[in-house]
Chains A and B, each alone.
Chain A
Amino acid sequence: MDFSFPKEYQLFRRMVHEFAESEARPLTKEIDEQDRVPFETLEKAAKLGLMGVPFPQKYGGCGAGEMGYCILMEELNKVCPSTAVVVGAHTGIGAMAIYMDGTEEQKEKYLKPLAKGEKIGAYVLTEADAGSDAAAIKTRAVRDGNYYILNGTKTFNTNGGHADILSVMAVTDPSLGARGGITAFIVEKEFPGFRIGREENKMGIRGSQTAEVILEDCRVPKENVLGQFGAGFITFMKTLDIGRLSLGAGCLGGADACLEASIQWAKTRQQFGVPIAHKQSIQWMIADMATEIEALRSLVYRTAWLVDTGQPFTKEAAMCKVYGSEVLHRCIDKALQIHGGTGYSRDFWIERGFRDQRITEIFEGTSEIQRIVIASNLFRPEGVRISA
């Protein structure tokens, strides 16, 4: 066994860290307050190859695999979860779906510009009545000659309002449901019948945009079917599996930032005549944070190793997501508590971090869904199939 990071990944981490500090950090407050996607940061990220980190170089990516992508998400989330969410939705699920199941032609046409950051990607699944129950989607795709005609409304789409290339799931045979009745499509925003609906007003990650995507007789060429016809549900679930790992990595970065800020504050804040770091209540909170963070770090990078070495990782990725998001919840909460009233003020980043954190327990599969994934993977070898 060897728990050390290879040299090239250490150098990669340093590069990403410097990028996050110099380019993302100065905008964090502004993009939160103005509900603004930091396009200028995305352009700079593209120049460094950070918009396609996990993909092979032949598709325009960095070739850094899941380990590299986890490092990216960890470092970005230390500084700006909004920026990380925009990059993550683009890379980790939007482009990832095409990387996982696209044809060579599709990868050439769509993955390459996405990986280079010339185009922005999105992953379009959720509908008003299909949240955790993703198979309940109603958006229909009906064949018409060389096209499929898509009709339906998709909600809560990260990057939905500004993405160029969207991976969209629609029902092709209602009688078959999730097993054979759902197909994935690659949709360009210029396709006729594609429209952006309302934008959500969110508690946090306000520097990322969450928009409705409306498909009204949207014409999609038949060669834009992504993966096997009727196997779209599998494509999307596989994509979410791998996405969960990087969300866990993001939580790890966020939690680390909480710990670092708490230590600095506890060292300098004086109450009762001494720095509050001398108080047991504060020491215990910091000790608990650090302990959980170390456990999470091991879980995340072990799972990245499973992915990069081609081993099964579904259960472990779900654990990264549920444990990571809940560790981050506890860490930002403790950090806010250690900062007292200052932590509650919008003049300091902890307040934003508290709002930003809460979505990590919901998006890309709620904690409840993660637990179902974990439990079903534990029960399946025992011959017991559990469903949601």
Chain B
Amino acid sequence: MDFALNEEQRMFQKMFRDFVTNEIAPLAEEIDQEEKLPRELLPKAAMQGFLGALLPEEFEGVALDAISYCLLLEELARACASTAMTISVHNGLVSKTILDNGTDEQKSKYLEPMAFGEKIGSFALTEPAAGSDVTALETRASQDGGEDYVLNGCKTWASNGQIADIFLVFAVTDPEAGAKGISAFIVEKDTPGFKVGYREPTLGLRGLTCNTLYLDDCRVPVENLLGQEGEGLKIALKALDFSRLSLSAICLGGAQAALEAGVQFAVEREQFGGPIALKQAIQNFIADTAAEIEALRYLVYHTAWLSDTGEPYTRDASIAKLIGSEVAMRAANKMLQVHGGFGYMKEYAIERMYRDFRALRIVEGTSEIQRFVIARDILKEKGLAIKP
């Protein structure tokens, strides 16, 4: 066994950290207040290769292994969870999904501009009546004369909705076939009948845009079907597996940032004649948080390693996402408590982290759905099939 990062991964980690410290950390407060990423941020990230992180060189990507990719998201999340989420959706949910399932034509058309950040990706699965229950999709896609699919429906909370050019839209092509009747489509922003609607105001992750999308007789060319008809759910679930791993890395970076903020504050803040770091109550918070973060760190890297070695990792990704999001939230909560009244004020980053991290227990599968996935996988080994 070897728990050390290899030389290349260490080099990447340093490069990511330097870039994030210099270019993203100073913007985090503004991103939260303005509720958007500054215009220059994503182009800068693209120049570093971050927007083609998972794509091979032939599509102008940098082809990071999963461990290095987790290091990237971890560093991004240490500075700004909104930025980390935006980049994670673009890479893990959209461009990687096109890479894994697309035709040669689709890959050559969409991936290079995505790697350059000229086109940003959005993932549009959720609907008003289909949250945890993704099979309840109502958006319909019917073939019309062999050249186009006509899509009708409404998607909610499409991440990156406001800023994206390319939307992965999941729609029902065969209502009789249930979960096997869902298909995936690549929909360009300027397609007639496609409209980006309401931007959801949120508790946190305010730099990540989440929008309602309207598909009103939206005509999508047949060559934009991703994978085969009926493969949509399979494609979505595979994308979500990787995305849950990605999210666990964001949780890790976020929890680490909360801990660092709490430690810094505890050392500087004096009460009862000395730094509060000398108090047991504070030490307990810090010790508990640090312990959970260390446990999480190797859970995340182990899951990434499984992905890199081609092993199945669905259950592991759910475990990492479940624990990761709960650890990040507890870390933000405890470190806010260490800050006392200051932690409730917007001048301190912990205030933002507390709001940001709350989303992590919901997005890309709530904690309850993760528990179901974990239980289902465990019980399947015992010959028992469970339903949500």
The one of B136, B156, B200, B354 that contacts A203, using a Cβ cutoff of 8 Å: B354
CB contact under 8 A between A344 and B271, given known A200-B345, A363-B341 = no
B344, A270: Cβ atoms closer than 8 Å: no
Residues of chain A within 8 A of B363, CB atoms compared: 341
- A204–B351 Cα distance when bound, in Å, is 10
A362, B341: Cβ atoms closer than 8 Å: yes
Chain A: minimal CB distance from B123 (Å): 14
B2 interfacial contact with A, CB 8 Å = no
Residues of chain A within 8 A of B368, CB atoms compared: 279, 281-282, 337
B351, A126: Cβ atoms closer than 8 Å: no
Residues of chain B within 8 A of A361, CB atoms compared: 337
Chain A: minimal CB distance from B267 (Å): 15
CB contact under 8 A between A368 and B344, given known A281-B371, A340-B131 = no
Residues of chain B within 8 A of A363, CB atoms compared: 341
A376 interfacial contact with B, CB 8 Å = no
Cβ < 8 Å to B, chain A residues 154-203: 155-156, 200-203
B232 interfacial contact with A, CB 8 Å = no
B272, A355: Cβ atoms closer than 8 Å: no
Chain A: minimal CB distance from B225 (Å): 27
A106 interfacial contact with B, CB 8 Å = no
A136, B272: Cβ atoms closer than 8 Å: yes
B261 interfacial contact with A, CB 8 Å = no
Residues of chain B within 8 A of A354, CB atoms compared: 203, 358
A203, B351: Cβ atoms closer than 8 Å: yes
Chain A: minimal CB distance from B361 (Å): 7
B133, A271: Cβ atoms closer than 8 Å: yes
| Most A-side CB within 10 Å, residue of B130, B355, B366, B368 | B368
Residues of chain A within 8 A of B358, CB atoms compared: 336, 344, 354
A346 interfacial contact with B, CB 8 Å = yes
A131 interfacial contact with B, CB 8 Å = yes
- A35–B361 Cα distance when bound, in Å, is 28
A2 interfacial contact with B, CB 8 Å = no
What 0/1 pattern do residues 338 to 368 of B give for CB contact below 8 A with A?
0011011111000100110011011100111
- A288–B362 Cα distance when bound, in Å, is 20
Residues of chain B within 8 A of A200, CB atoms compared: 345
B344, A337: Cβ atoms closer than 8 Å: no
B146 interfacial contact with A, CB 8 Å = no
A345, B202: Cβ atoms closer than 8 Å: yes
Interface of A is mostly: mixed
B346, A203: Cβ atoms closer than 8 Å: yes
Residues of chain B within 8 A of A344, CB atoms compared: 202-204, 358-359, 362
The one of B203, B204, B351, B362 that contacts A340, using a Cβ cutoff of 8 Å: B362
Residues of chain B within 8 A of A238, CB atoms compared: none
The one of B281, B355, B366 that contacts A337, using a Cβ cutoff of 8 Å: B366
Interface size classification for chain B: 35 or more
B136, A345: Cβ atoms closer than 8 Å: no
CB contact under 8 A between A126 and B367, given known A270-B129, A345-B202 = no
Residues of chain A within 8 A of B43, CB atoms compared: none
- A271–B279 Cα distance when bound, in Å, is 47
A366, B340: Cβ atoms closer than 8 Å: yes
| Most A-side CB within 10 Å, residue of B344, B346, B355, B363 | B344
B271, A136: Cβ atoms closer than 8 Å: yes
B388 interfacial contact with A, CB 8 Å = yes
A132, B343: Cβ atoms closer than 8 Å: no
B157, A341: Cβ atoms closer than 8 Å: yes
A341, B344: Cβ atoms closer than 8 Å: no
The one of A202, A329, A336, A388 that contacts B344, using a Cβ cutoff of 8 Å: A202
Residues of chain A within 8 A of B355, CB atoms compared: 203, 355
| Most A-side CB within 10 Å, residue of B333, B340, B345 | B340
Which B-chain residue is minimally distant from A126 (CB atoms)?
B341
A104 interfacial contact with B, CB 8 Å = no
The one of B204, B340, B345, B346 that contacts A132, using a Cβ cutoff of 8 Å: B340
B201 interfacial contact with A, CB 8 Å = yes
A346, B344: Cβ atoms closer than 8 Å: no
A306 interfacial contact with B, CB 8 Å = no
Chain B: minimal CB distance from A269 (Å): 8
- A362–B337 Cα distance when bound, in Å, is 7
Residues of chain B within 8 A of A347, CB atoms compared: 200-201
Please list 5 pairs of residues, one from A and one from B, whose beta carbons are closer than 8 Å in the complex, sorted by A's number: A279-B368, A340-B362, A341-B156, A344-B358, A368-B282
**Known contacts A131-B340, A337-B361, A340-B132, then 5 further A-B pairs from the complex at CB < 8 Å, ordered by chain A residue:** A201-B347, A337-B366, A343-B362, A358-B354, A362-B344
